[in-house]
Structure 1
């Protein structure tokens, strides 16, 4: 179901002569997406899903359908020396109408003010077309005073998002250059923190060295700006994955989501935390929130599949993980999860076809037989192979523990599991939920392997009042009634709708309101949005003057413009929506 207050920002097209400016266009697109996510009640599609359409010729109606939005923003950027030109247009997905467009020309030094101006204009126009929601006074804060440092940051960000060891190493270089130009650039320190943390966890730099460098960047960043969501998020990895301190992880994830309720990393972390605790309904709630704002992320569908897997809903898990692999065939964890689903569903032929020419082939086949066949023995040579494995060769998924747990070697399985838990290995953080480890649950000492310091009673469920900020007190019923009469009189006597550039702000100032209250008033008093409210007057005016013989020499479009419409497509679309026929057909019928 499409949310009427929703938008997807497609990647801005690079119109510069220099193709290397692609990073700049992508960076500005992401900044605007991030700014719009701050608007409560506006669904904004995340970068991963919006960028899935980069460079593709896809009808906006199809994009809207895939992403579950009713508005698409598309545009272009031309950067030349010290100036930047950004064009943007909003498209109504349902009918393909371009109901707003604007061109912005600025000096590059004003880029942050420009990002704020564009983001606010987009939010206001979406509200005018879809219904009331609150908009803050500003959506973009200036992260640095040095525009060159900002451009280096964007270069680093474009490399980081490639998520390869080499690209992250290069990203760090650009972040370091940005910091050299502006020692107070908090976001660059936070970016370095994430990069070093990833490199350490992936094993591409010595773990102790990587964590030390990450902490050094954190210590500087938190002194510069602890208000960014990156600050509490930096502690989530430490408490959750490194220490299995679920209570502190929960506290800091909540801090991230308090700053930005739609923060992708925050939503994902909460889903994974609840999964580890076995709170599956809560995990599903956050997984679905993830998919609502980022529906084309393979990782998000993998997360959903994992929850179904732990609930022993194998068919649902298989369906979700299949889609994850369609979105990203290289997602290794999704490959393993599909193997497990096929094992539990006892789909032997499908399983054998799927694992053909893959790694750990012997382990996969052995696990299948242990679950679905008569075999309970594990060949001594494979156990010996595992025992000789270096710690750095730890399997991404612990097939050895799974296999031993379902054989006559449960004591050895328990010993290996206990060792991994002592080391806080991420591969087995969900060990209590893992179906393959079910045979170990009755083993003495299993319950004491790790005790969570976060219980279900510690998680305060949000009430509807907390989830949805009430707007009922913006204007009282008496104020709404009084202002409604004043607005109706104003439109009847002054006919402001004839002004093609009439804005919500202009009408609000006439009534002595701000734009948030003005939008709320129209929504509550007339049960419609601003654009439809104004266009209803324009339509009535058109019908009146169109039937006047003295205007017979004017074209339909000319009459529409005289009625206040400033777009042919908007006029035609709105007319047909309200009258059920085209303007030309209506004219022919009314004048015959």
Structure 2
């Protein structure tokens, strides 16, 4: 089902002579996506899904269908020396019409004001066409006064998003160059923090060294700007994955989502937290929200599959994980989860074909046999092999799962306890893991790590997913302002101005644009453009039926009525009258 207050921002096309400006175009696109995502009642497709269509040449209507949006923003950027030109257009995915276009030409130094202007204008146009939601006065604030530092940051960001050890190290280099130009560039420090954290977690950098570098960047960043969602997010990894302090993790995730309710990392963290707690209904709320705003992310489908897996809905989990692997065949954790689903479903042929040419084949086959066959022995030689191996680098603990389902349950329990004592992320969901159920009967299992967050503590969490529309005008004031608005339109006829905007009306009524949008929506059950166009249509009918105007064309009469676009006029006329203007005129005159 398509949400009418929704948009996908496709990657802006690089129209500059320098092909290396691709990173700049991608960075500006992401900034606008992030800005629009701050508008609470507007569905904005996340970067991963929007960028899935880059250079694909897919029909806009098909893109809208896949992403579940009714509006797509296309644009192009031309950057030359110290100037930037951005062309933008909003497209209705139902019929492919361009219902709004605008060119922006500015000095490069004004790039942040320009991004804010574009984001606010786009949000306003969607609201004008599809109904009320509140828009903040500012969506983007200037992160640095140094444009060169900003461009270095965007280069670093383009590399970071490749998510490889090499690209992360290169990204850190660009972030550090940006910091050299602006020591107060908070976002660059936060970006470094994330890169170092990932390099340490993935084992591509000594863990203690990576943590020290991450903390150093955090200490500087928090002195510069704690209003960014990156600030509370930087504590989530520490509390959740390092310390298993679920209460503090929850507090900081909430802060991220209070700053930006559509923050992808915040939504994912909340889903993972609820999975670890076994609160699957709550986890599904956030998993579904993730898929709503980022439907083509393999990682999000993996998250959904994980919930189904822990609920032991293995068929549903397998469906979700198969789709995740079509989106990203290289997602390693998804490979392991599919392997587990096939084991529990006893799909031997599919299982054996799937694990061909993968790692840990011996362990995978043994785990399948232990779950689905009787009297399977685990050799002491294999156990010794695991003991000698560096278990710290095993992404998924096959050894633990095998021990837990064999005659070596006590050994498995000891190993599980050691992993929990070390707060190993591989077993953070140990109470939900089906392979560990046999260990639940062992004395001492209940005394393993206890969560410090309970269901009663998260009773208000659902409100973070979608803020309720605030009542910004009471019923009495709505009636008063309704009369004032009607008087203005009937007497002053502002709709004849083709450039009439919500801002112009708001200034006349001495209100802000949020209140005027809310007033029109509540009082007339219309969006702003339909309200204005209804007056324009009535005016067109009046002058079109006047014999004095018989010499004028239909389009000329439409322009005289305030319409500024042939497509907008024809579309609105057909929607209102279920007829074309020409047929309507002919039918009316023949009556």
TM-score by length of 2: 0.98
| Structure-1 residue corresponding to 2:493 | 495
Q: Cα 1:226–1:465, aligned 2, differ >3 Å: closer, same or farther?
A: closer
| Structure-1 residue corresponding to 2:153 | 153
| Structure-2 residue corresponding to 1:198 | 198
| Structure-2 residue corresponding to 1:545 | 543
Q: Provide, for residues 484-503 of structure 1, a one-character-per-residue CA deviation record: whole Å limited to 9, x for no partner.
A: 12222222222111111011
- Cα separation, 2, equivalents of 1:126 and 1:467: 18
- Cα separation, 1, equivalents of 2:280 and 2:477: 46
Q: Provide, for residues 390-448 of structure 1, a one-character-per-residue CA deviation record: whole Å limited to 9, x for no partner.
A: 245x3211111111111111111112111111111111111110000111001111112
Q: Secondary structure at the residue paired with 2:285?
A: helix
Report if aligned partners of 2:261, 2:465 keep a CA contact under 8 Å in 1. Answer: no
Report if aligned partners of 2:289, 2:465 keep a CA contact under 8 Å in 1. Answer: no
Paired residues for 1:116-265 under 5 Å? 116-265=116-265
Q: Secondary structure at the residue paired with 2:418?
A: helix
- Cα separation, 2, equivalents of 1:296 and 1:441: 37
| Structure-2 residue corresponding to 1:451 | 450
| Structure-2 residue corresponding to 1:518 | 516
Report if aligned partners of 1:7, 1:73 keep a CA contact under 8 Å in 2. Answer: yes
CA RMSD of aligned residues (A): 1.4
| Structure-1 residue corresponding to 2:532 | 534
Q: Secondary structure at the residue paired with 1:441?
A: helix
- Cα separation, 2, equivalents of 1:58 and 1:572: 26
Q: Provide, for residues 330-369 of structure 1, a one-character-per-residue CA deviation record: whole Å limited to 9, x for no partner.
A: 1110111111111111111111121122211111111111
Please tell me whether residue 316 in structure 1 is matched to residue 330 in structure 2.
no
| Structure-2 residue corresponding to 1:406 | 405
Q: Provide, for residues 451-481 of structure 1, a one-character-per-residue CA deviation record: whole Å limited to 9, x for no partner.
A: 1122222223357699544532x22222221
Q: Which runs of 5+ in 1 are unaligned?
A: none
- Cα separation, 1, equivalents of 2:102 and 2:129: 16
Q: Provide, for residues 76-95 of structure 1, a one-character-per-residue CA deviation record: whole Å limited to 9, x for no partner.
A: 11101100001111112222
- Cα separation, 2, equivalents of 1:213 and 1:453: 29
- Cα separation, 1, equivalents of 2:465 and 2:331: 37
- Cα separation, 1, equivalents of 2:488 and 2:460: 46
Moved more, 335-344 or 179-188: 335-344
Moved more, 302-311 or 247-256: 247-256
Q: Secondary structure at the residue paired with 2:90?
A: strand
Q: Secondary structure at the residue paired with 2:85?
A: strand
Report if aligned partners of 1:97, 1:573 keep a CA contact under 8 Å in 2. Answer: no
Superposed displacement of residue 294, structure 1: 0.9
Moved more, 505-514 or 435-444: 505-514
- Cα separation, 2, equivalents of 1:41 and 1:241: 31
Q: Secondary structure at the residue paired with 2:52?
A: helix
Q: Secondary structure at the residue paired with 2:441?
A: coil
Deviating 4+ runs (over 3 angstroms): 462-470
Q: Secondary structure at the residue paired with 1:576?
A: helix
- Cα separation, 1, equivalents of 2:153 and 2:210: 20
Q: Secondary structure at the residue paired with 1:213?
A: helix
Q: Secondary structure at the residue paired with 1:85?
A: strand
Superposed displacement of residue 180, structure 1: 0.2
